[in-house]
Chains A and B, each alone.
Chain A
Amino acid sequence: MIIIKMALRNLFSHKMKTLIVGTVLILGSFFAVVGVTFVFAISEGMKNSLTHSITGDLQIYSKLAKDKFSIFGDENGSYPDIDYVENFATIKNILEKEVSNIEAIVPMGGNFAMVNPGNILDKKLEELRQCFKEKIFDAAKILELKEHVHAIILDIEAQFFNNTASIVSVSAEDSAKVRADLDTARAESFWKDFDAKFERKIEFLSNKIAPLIFDDNVLYVSYMGTIPETFARSFSQFEIVKGTNIPPGHRGMVLTDRFYEEEVKHRVARRLDKIKRSLLEDHETIKGSKTLQDKITSNISQSAEVYNQLTPKRAEEIVVKLQAFLSSKESDIKKLLEDFLKVDDANFISRYDFFYSEIAPYIVLYKVKVGEVFPITTFSKYGTSHSLNIKVYGTYRFKSFERSPIATGFNLIDLMSFRDLFGLLTPERKKENSEMEAEMALEDVSISDMFKKSDSKKESEGASLSKLKSTVFTSGFKEDFASQGDKVFSNADLENGIFLNAAILLKNPAKMAATMRAIDSVSEKEKLNIQVIDWKNAAGIIGQLILFIRVLLFSFIGIVFGVSIFIIMNAFIMAMLERYKEIGTMRAIGAQKQFVLSMLFFEVLIQSVFFACLGILLSWLVIVIVGGRGIPAWNDIATFFFSGSRLYLFFDWWYAAGVLLLAVIVSAIAGLYPAYQATKIPPVSALGKTH
């Protein structure tokens, strides 16, 4: 007890010194805890945003892959050539049976596609076509649409000859053709019998006039082919946002909600949504946020996207409504819209509601709508293309990663359609293949036998023309193509086919290395011809980025640690050295070595524990207050690192305890070693000069 009291008294009497050492301890332990918590949050966050959404814990793919696998594509932006694996069901059954740590195996395959949802003229022509097909003839609507189409044609004419011709060298031939087509489309005679010959007229406009609009409407969709229910079930954070998941046995797509809202949604509407979210969820103000102000400016400069999509009749109606809403006498829709889109904190909500109730229903709010069917085209390595008509069933997201750009990159498509688009042989194609093989009746001949003279004449007269004459050209091609989407297939079809790669989710991710070895040996044994990599390697450049950031941040922390330890040690050593005289005195008056050492020990202990705890407490405060609310990501890069719009920190008691222990040990070593030396010095010399 006395020892402790003395220790405390010593500490208090050298206040300044104690405080200085204490400050170093506080800072050191504070940074140790906060720093590592921060780094850990980032790297765990990035890891989870991958393993819980796309990569799983492990990825398997063909051993014969030509390129290294990377789920996001390789450095040049294209997908790597990883070959494919024959039968998913076989692989799945064997692996699940023989490797115990596997929770789920989800087949996948990534690719890019182009979707051309059609420009404004295409859309209006489609609406017009539908009107004519309806049982009830809505003359008013048809007239409205026709007027709009007419207006668009005039626009096209102006743009083509005034603008396009300035940068593009259009051949005289092409120019004349365009002129002729446009003249036809504008002619009175064209419109006079429109209703009677609507199919042909619409087709003419759609084939000849619509392509003249140079539009940036093409969507580049990156998608992943998988088994939709397996995917939804295996990734616990998966949830459907709009519509439904792809029903089992049907072809279809489910887009990521982020993609739907960011790229498919009308730009002006999208920005209004973002502003609303910032105001309501993130509690920002337009006045105080430059980002929001920029969004408003962009909206104003892009108001053309709104008024160009309104039919003339609708535009008139909206002018009236806007005049009332804004109390304005302006009659030009363009100016009214620009005024309307100049929102501020006071009027935002009411204008937002007005937009969605009065304007949004009449523009193309989504280039492709949930529930719609649209054509999707992919290009193979050598440029051959494959197309399919696909229905969008809904949108999905991963809870807690909804704002992360990594986790929202993959729109899902059913594996059957994926195989078609990838150019893999479907069962139908295989059937046709064998038919053609039979027709070909090709001899299997080796190179050495090719030029052997034999009985069969090498120079024949050729077969009769029976096949040629009977090759009925499938004019039903387009219908066939359209009906693909309705065919239902069985689960066996899905599973018993080709896949490119598969995600493996583990029951216990900590045993990753052992599981990987197990998979390798099973693959060897059963000749599965697959290879396995961990999520970090599977994430390609993103995985490497995560690694890089982790290394960078940990080195950073390490340096701070190292220097802190050095300074702490230095401080304690100095403090102890300075007290040689004091120690000598105590020994001279009869204190035992043991006693002195214990006293010093308690000093060091109390000092280190007290100040380290203070530091830890401070870090706890910071983590709970700042980290609890979340550190907001200030731009896209930050959003990527934070795996979302905010980075949350979590205080780890065990870790804090570790830091405390480390601080005590370091202090003890630093303080007690010289103390031990000090007690060895005979009291006499200690009482003498202090140097």
Chain B
Amino acid sequence: MGIFFTIGFRSLIKHKTHSLILGSAIISVTILLIIITNVTSGIQDTMMKGSTTLFSGHVNITGFFKTSTSSAAPVITDLARLRKLAREIVPEATFIVDRVNGFGKIISDQSSMQIPMMGIDVEEEAPILKDLSVAAGNISDLSKKNGLIIFEAQAKKLKVAVGDRVTVSMPTYRNMYNTMDVNVVAIVRDMGYLSNFSAFLNKDDIRELYQMKEDSSGRVMIFLPNYKTVAAVESRVRSGIEKAGFRLMDKDPQPFFMKFDKVAAEGWTGQKIDITNWEDEVSIMKWIITLFNVLTGMLTMILLTIVSLGLMNMLWITIKERTGEIGTMRAIGMQRRSLVILFIIEPFILSSLSTIIGIVIGLLISAGLNAMHIIIADSALRTFLMSDTLLLSTSFSQIIITFIAITTFTTVGAIIPAWRAGKLSPVIAMSTID
């Protein structure tokens, strides 16, 4: 086998021009695909990081409490027991915290907006909140009562700065509005689209606004050391919670605010627990990733098909040109099969080398783009990429897949010409030598 590689290699070097042209085609396509998949990965990472900082854990114990058959509140009761269960079922969890869901109006002196807000315990959440990049103020000040943390975009709209007072207004269980004046204790840098709809209040304050009992909350968020284990942990939590006697809702991979309508109309009352993961909570944004993946997939297929054809064509011509060479080789005793293998290995070497070079260059470019922290100027793009700066992240599995796909495709294209080459009879082949 080794000899084939040597021969193949030498041959490539000999036919420099052909190798270069085809090689550069493969390299360019590879670079393009690597960069695109890195951008998609970047978006996925941003989404995960964003959602797990802003409103979800890797796995969530959440649910609805129905006070009547026609209402639904995103509340879980028996909080202490649920947190204890979470600790027991997922001992490997890095953190477990709980937050209260809220939705209401923030009224400043010059403007107002209606957004979802979360009641948090700043001290407990310190490790999660460190992912927030503070533009002004002090996040830990939220531990004092009557504080509010907002994002830059919201601060801009409300025209407030740290230290300013705003009124928070929320509808309580009787559809009556309850209000509280709070101070802006910190302004945090935007995290793309997701942060437009987030703000943080002190957990006790939000409980007071909603007149909620101490033992109730919105969701228990479980953070895992490795987010790839989400699926397994989720099923453990489901069975664990169910065994402990809680009623479970059927799995519905949607964010909680999309479930209100459905749950409100169901005929049960009391508490039901809903186990979700971070992907469910951002599922409305997932379409962007799906779109990118689908487009990339299609692009890959089409490009590779076209490149394969080109390769086939080139190989055909190459073989024609090297008919003499082939004849000679057959004449000195090389078997047909060996010839075919040789003519497959050559393009294989070319494409795998080109792919590797392409991957390396692609990764270098990605790293370079990342380091430049390119700020996305267009707000539409910013919204969809969910970040203010262009982020590319590499997924090792993606690279392997890309490598295998490109190399396979291009090599497959070589099979027919190679097979035809094998068919050539030595005599005729040699006759073309002059």
Contacts and interface: CB of A to CB of B under 8 A. Distances in A.
User: Do any CB atoms of chain A lie under 8 A from CB atoms of chain B in the complex?
Assistant: yes
Interface of A: 16-17, 20-21, 23-24, 27-28, 31, 74-78, 81, 116, 119-120, 155-156, 159-160, 162-164, 166-170, 211, 213-218, 267, 298, 301-305, 308, 334, 381-383, 541, 544-545, 547-548, 552-553, 556, 559-560, 563-564, 566-567, 570-571, 574-575, 577-578, 637, 688-691
Given A78-B113, A81-B111, A303-B267, A563 B307 contact: yes
Given A76-B197, A544-B383, A567 B309 contact: yes
B115 A77 contact: yes
Nearest to A548: B380
Interface of B: 21, 25, 29, 32, 65-73, 75, 77, 105, 107, 111-115, 153-154, 157, 169, 173-175, 193, 196-197, 210-213, 216, 260-262, 264-267, 269-271, 287, 291, 295, 298-299, 302-303, 305-307, 309-310, 312-314, 316-317, 320-321, 378-381, 383-384, 420, 434
A215 B67 CA distance: 9
Given A213-B70, A382-B112, A560-B303, A637 B287 contact: yes
Contacts of B262: 298, 302
Contacts of B265: 267, 302, 304-305
B383 A541 contact: yes
B306 A308 contact: no
B72 A17 contact: no
Given A75-B196, A381-B112, A301 B267 contact: yes
18 contacts: A20-B316, A75-B153, A75-B383, A155-B68, A159-B69, A160-B67, A162-B269, A163-B269, A169-B212, A213-B68, A214-B70, A216-B70, A308-B70, A541-B380, A541-B383, A547-B380, A560-B299, A563-B306
Nearest to B213: A169
Contacts of B70: 119-120, 213-217, 304-305, 308
Contacts of A81: 111
Given A163-B269, A167-B65, A76 B173 contact: no
Contacts of A166: 65, 77, 213, 216, 270-271
B266 A302 contact: yes
A574 B417 CA distance: 15
A120 to B, nearest CB: 8
A168 B434 contact: no
B287 A304 contact: no
Contact of B67 (A17, A159, A547): A159
Contacts of B113: 76-78
Nearest to B25: A566
B384 A578 contact: no
Nearest to B66: A163
Contacts of B287: 637
A690 B316 CA distance: 15
List of 8 A-B pairs having minimum Cβ-Cβ separation, nearest first: A304-B267, A544-B380, A567-B310, A302-B265, A216-B264, A214-B71, A637-B287, A163-B67
Contacts of B321: 578, 690-691
Nearest to A171: B211
Contact of B213 (A28, A156, A167, A383): A167
A571 B313 contact: yes
Given A215-B68, A548-B381, A556-B299, 12 more contacts: A21-B313, A28-B306, A76-B113, A163-B269, A163-B270, A167-B67, A168-B67, A214-B174, A216-B71, A563-B25, A570-B21, A575-B317
Nearest to A309: B70
Contacts of A547: 380
A220 B159 CA distance: 27
Contact of B384 (A156, A267, A545): A545
A17 B197 CA distance: 59
Contact of B317 (A17, A544, A548): A17
B424 to A, nearest CB: 13
Given A76-B154, A159-B269, A166-B77, A16 B306 contact: no
A556 B77 contact: no
A84 B256 CA distance: 37
Nearest to A76: B113
B68 A20 contact: no
A564 B173 contact: no
A215 B306 contact: no
A167 B305 contact: no
A159 B199 CA distance: 32
A27 B305 contact: yes
Given A119-B70, A163-B270, A689 B434 contact: yes
Contacts of A575: 313, 317
B194 to A, nearest CB: 11
Nearest to B175: A218
A214 B302 contact: no
Given A163-B68, A304-B267, A570-B313, A383 B169 contact: yes
A77 B75 CA distance: 24
B224 to A, nearest CB: 29
A563 B29 contact: yes
A23 B316 CA distance: 14
B68 A552 contact: no
Contacts of B312: 20
Contact of A383 (B112, B173, B298, B306): B112
Contacts of B21: 570
A390 to B, nearest CB: 20
Contacts of A302: 262, 265-267
A167 B211 CA distance: 9
Nearest to A217: B70
A552 B295 contact: yes
Contact of A574 (B68, B77, B314, B381): B314
B217 to A, nearest CB: 10
Nearest to A212: B174
A175 to B, nearest CB: 12
A637 B153 CA distance: 26
Contact of B68 (A75, A159, A305): A159
A215 B66 CA distance: 10
Nearest to A338: B267
A215 B71 contact: yes
B361 to A, nearest CB: 17
A553 B299 CA distance: 11
Nearest to A545: B380
Contacts of B270: 163, 166
Contacts of B317: 17, 574-575, 577-578
A21 B310 CA distance: 8
B24 to A, nearest CB: 10
A363 to B, nearest CB: 12
A168 B173 contact: yes
A559 B303 contact: yes
A17 B271 CA distance: 71
A164 B299 contact: no
A570 B314 contact: yes
A24 B310 CA distance: 8
A457 to B, nearest CB: 36
Contacts of A571: 309-310, 313
Given A166-B65, A305-B70, A382-B107, A17 B196 contact: no
A302 to B, nearest CB: 4
A476 to B, nearest CB: 27
B29 to A, nearest CB: 7
B316 A17 contact: yes
Contacts of B29: 563
Contacts of A560: 299, 302-303, 306
Nearest to A570: B310
B41 to A, nearest CB: 17
B114 A76 contact: yes
A167 B305 CA distance: 61
Given A304-B266, A559-B32, A24 B309 contact: yes
Contacts of A17: 313, 316-317
Contacts of B115: 76-77
A647 to B, nearest CB: 15
Nearest to A305: B265
A61 B210 CA distance: 39
